[in-house]
Structures are given as structure tokens and as C-alpha cells.
A = this chain, B = another copy of it.
């Protein structure tokens, strides 16, 4: 199947190259919507328009749903209001809410007005929740059972309602006030005796989240407890919706990408195939900021011009102190940020974690500093040069531990994203402090170095 999809994909692309749009559309229909969406997303606007106008609504909706938000927004502008509202009616309400929240208010209202009332209201309700919360990623389309139904009645109900495959595998049980009281798997319903009450078969200790729980926390809970579906409740414990595992897979990838980009000093996600001009616009402000921090470090060096002019070899050794500190700081930042993301940090342990990282930094700084000092001594025949290098590296790598662990932990305490303190902030610390420690020490011991 996978190979077949790949073949069809190549064939469709070839047909498009020859401008045989009709045949290509035929092939798209044989592709998995995710594959079709990928190819179509890259096509010129008029091709995209023609394809969506040719297709029946369910197929158009399936494919549209697989596109990323930017592509969806582009297509919304291409299609007529009746067509796009028909397509949105076929989609899952949480995806509709995300899209409508992303496009302008005016467009959203125009489309909502053309949609079926019930679908529109459902989307509107979901749009009230933050996009990155449990409420924002849950689907409100689920079947809940009442606890006084029998297993057979439950199965009959499911058969009649035929809910989407996404949410049927765990069925949640509510009381008369729609409050969540239990969960049962479809498996246990089928295996259970038809006449028994759901209440007797269900598991009453169901794991749930509040509607405003952050999506990262939702992902952590589902991953930790190996859940396929997680119910979302309001303040009165009423069941509002269900987060399903496929949405969480996307969240996990999204959050991991975000951390990776931030740590690497890339502020906004950037695709490998996005145009160069976008990458430049994306990165330039941050690089200009970096330039500012680089001048700060250069300013520190320029304070010691006199020492350098008297012992020129200091200029060669000073990047070692700064660079090793930068590497240590990046390592520490990585371990700390990832550790926080994976839930390894307990609140009260912050100070201990920082202290440990400072200790690790000083130890590794002392060991590599000793090595570097020895090399410097042997190369230049001056033990004091080695001593200065050793001391500066030990201190600076302690600073690296402090900055690398401290910055994300403090950000976390301030309820900010720990990855915001990306590598550049940490290496600014280690650069400035490294130059200061090395050149400062060298200046105080200058008479031994000449």
C-alpha cells in the first residue's frame, strides 16, 4: 500500500508536469488524502481551485483536513463561500475551530454564516478555548453512555449513532447531570454480558483533564498512562469533549520541534523547502540581536587591549576559554530544557539541580582546564599562563552550569517557556564571563606572563 501510494504520487506529479490535470485528479482520488494534500498544497493556485471544485465534498474535506494551516488559509481565499462552508461542515469541529481562529474575523463570520447552524455553533463554542489547551484540541463529537444503560443497550446506541472511528474505542459514562463518572472500552462492552449495567462494567477511576489544561500537559498525561483518549471536563465536572491520541501525536511533534528550534536559536519554524527570502526575514532580527551581544563581548576584550598588546598569545587562548564555556553551557541548557519538557523537574528541586550543574561545570572545567593549562605551559614554557588558563576555564564552566541550568529553571518558575533562553543567551554569558575571567586574571598576573 505504501509503495503503491508512492508510485501513484510520482505518477500524479509527472502528469502535472505535462499539464494533464484531468488525469492527475483521477490519480489523486486513488491516493491517501494525506499524500494528495501534500502534492496539491504545492500546486499553483488555479490548479488547487479546479481540483477542489471538481471533487465531491467528502473527498475535498478529507484532503483539505490533511493540509497544514497556512495551506488551508490560502485555499479558503480561492474558493467560494458556499463551497468552503460545505467542506468545513464535513470536517471535525476542532479542526474547523483552529482554522476559523486563524483566518480574519470577517472571513470567519462570513463562512460561519453560510454553515449549517449546529456545526457553526459547535465550532464557535470550541473557539472560546485557547488553541493550545485541552479545550482547543479536543473533539466535541463523542458518544457518552448513561451509567444505568445495559451493555446491550450501549452497543445498540453506538451502532445507531455510529460515531467517528476516532473516539469510539473508549466510551465515557456520565450521570444525569452529564458529569463524568467512568470509562469503558468498546472491547469490555463487547466482551461483557449483554444484560449487565454499564455502571458495573465501567472503570470508575477515569483519568481526565480540565478544559484549560495546557496541551503539553495533556500530551504528558496521555503518554505517561498510555491512553488512546482522554476526557475533558469543565469546572462542574461535566464532560465537554475527548482528546484523542492522534491529536496528541501532533502536539508531541509540535512541542519537540518548538524546543529544538528555540534551542538552536531559530525563533519561528522554518521548512527546508521554504523560500530563502522567508528564512532570511525569519532569522535576520535574531542575528542582529546576536550581533549586539557579540559587540558586548568584543567590548570586554577591548578593555584588555593593553594586556593583549604585551602578551599577544592571550588572543589565541582566550577563544578556548569562551568556546569551552559555550559548549558546556549549551550541553547544560539542553539537558535542563529537555528534562523540564519530559517532566523530570520537581518544583522544590530547582536549586539542587542548578547546584549540581554548577558542580558538574566546575569539575569538567577543572579537568579540561588542567589539560589545557598543561598544553599551554608546554607550548609557551610559562607555568603562569597555564595557571591562568586553568583557573579561567574552571570558573567559566561553573558559570556555564549556572547559566545553562538557571536560565530555563527561572523561566519555568516565571511560567515562561524554558526553551526561550536559547543557546545565544547562555553563550553570551559564557563569552563575556570567559573573556573577563581569562583576560582579567592575566592582567593581574601580567608581570609573570611577559
Query: Which residues of A does B touch, CB under 8 Å?
Result: 1-2, 4-5, 32, 34, 155, 158-159, 162-163, 165, 168-169, 185-188, 190-191, 205-209, 221-226, 228, 245-246, 248-250, 252-253, 256-257, 259-261, 263-266, 270-273, 276, 279-280, 283-284, 286-288, 290-291, 294-295, 297-299, 301-302, 305, 308-309, 312-320, 322-324, 326-328, 330-331, 333-340, 342, 344-345, 349, 353, 356, 359-360, 363-364, 367-368, 371-372, 375, 423-424, 427, 431, 435
Contact: A363 with B291, CB < 8 Å?
Answer: no
Q: A1-B207, A249-B249, A283-B360 are in contact. Are A263 and B260 (CB under 8 A)?
A: yes
On chain B, the residues within 8 Å of A159 by CB distance are 190-191
On chain B, the residues within 8 Å of A367 by CB distance are 284
| Number of chain copies forming the complex | 2
Contact: A315 with B301, CB < 8 Å?
Answer: yes
Contact: A342 with B257, CB < 8 Å?
Answer: yes
On chain B, the residues within 8 Å of A221 by CB distance are 2
Known contacts A1-B207, A283-B364, A318-B319, then 7 further A-B pairs from the complex at CB < 8 Å, ordered by chain A residue: A169-B228, A253-B342, A260-B337, A265-B334, A272-B345, A273-B349, A314-B315
Report the bound CA distance from A4 to B208 in whole Å: 11
Report the bound CA distance from A446 to B5 in whole Å: 62
A2 to chain B, nearest CB (A): 6
On chain B, the residues within 8 Å of A339 by CB distance are 271-272
What residue in chain B is nearest A380 (Cβ atoms)? B302
On chain B, the residues within 8 Å of A326 by CB distance are 326, 427
Q: A260-B259, A423-B330 are in contact. Are A272 and B335 (CB under 8 A)?
A: yes
On chain B, the residues within 8 Å of A209 by CB distance are 2
Per a CB cutoff under 8 Å, which of B155, B222, B266, B313 touches A334?
B266
Report the bound CA distance from A174 to B353 in whole Å: 54
Per a CB cutoff under 8 Å, which of B186, B313, B335, B371 touches A264?
B335
Contact: A320 with B334, CB < 8 Å?
Answer: no
Some 21 contacts from A to B, beta carbons below 8 A apart, are A1-B206, A158-B187, A159-B190, A168-B186, A169-B169, A260-B260, A266-B334, A266-B335, A272-B336, A273-B349, A276-B360, A288-B368, A298-B320, A299-B316, A302-B316, A305-B312, A319-B319, A326-B326, A326-B427, A327-B423, A330-B423
Contact: B190 with A165, CB < 8 Å?
Answer: no
A411 to chain B, nearest CB (A): 15
